[in-house]
Structure 1
Amino acid sequence: MTMPHERTRSVIHTRNFLVELSRDPSLPERIRSNAKLLLHHYPTRDDMVTAGRIEEQSNSLAGLLGPIFSSPIDE
């Protein structure tokens, strides 16, 4: 089972990977363009931390699912 901090870290690392792809001149332009397009709507590290904080403070979700994301990030 994936823990909230692991899920959050994975999303952040995936964004970093997309940034690397978008800037790598050795890759075809199509790959770099696709990575840039995905980044337009991909959450930032700050977005993920904020989402984690909101979920951790929400009493309505605590009984049902618990948080999906986490504000503390172990990198």
Structure 2
Amino acid sequence: MPHERTRSVIHTRDFLVELSRDPSLPARIRRDAKFLLRHYPTRGDMVTAGRIEEHADSLSGLLEPVFSSRIDD
């Protein structure tokens, strides 16, 4: 479901942030998490993508939205 996919992406970002800030982890893990976060979508990006997909007339009937503007935590 689009809202579950959106929530998963958001929670993955939160997890990467947590990893990047955890001093108990090796520097390589923290560095890799920071690297992945550089272009990882924010919560706002995900909500915007969901809204665009939900309201795109050109997709109507052809494709279902991939993401959702609704986030149920």
Scaled by the length of structure 1, the TM-score of the pair is: 0.95
Structure 1 residue runs of 5 or longer lacking an equivalent are none
SS of residue matched to 1:64: coil
Give the ranges of 4+ consecutive aligned residues of structure 1 lying more than 2 Å apart after TM superposition: none
1:15-73 superposed Cα distances (whole Å, 9 cap, x missing partner): 00000000000000000000000000000000000000000000111211111000010
- Taking every aligned residue pair, what percent have the same amino acid on both sides? 79
Q: Look up the match of 2:15.
A: 17
SS of residue matched to 1:22: helix
1:5 to 3, 19, 25: 3
Scaled by the length of structure 2, the TM-score of the pair is: 0.97
- The alignment's C-alpha RMSD in Å is 0.5
How many residue pairs end up in the alignment?
73
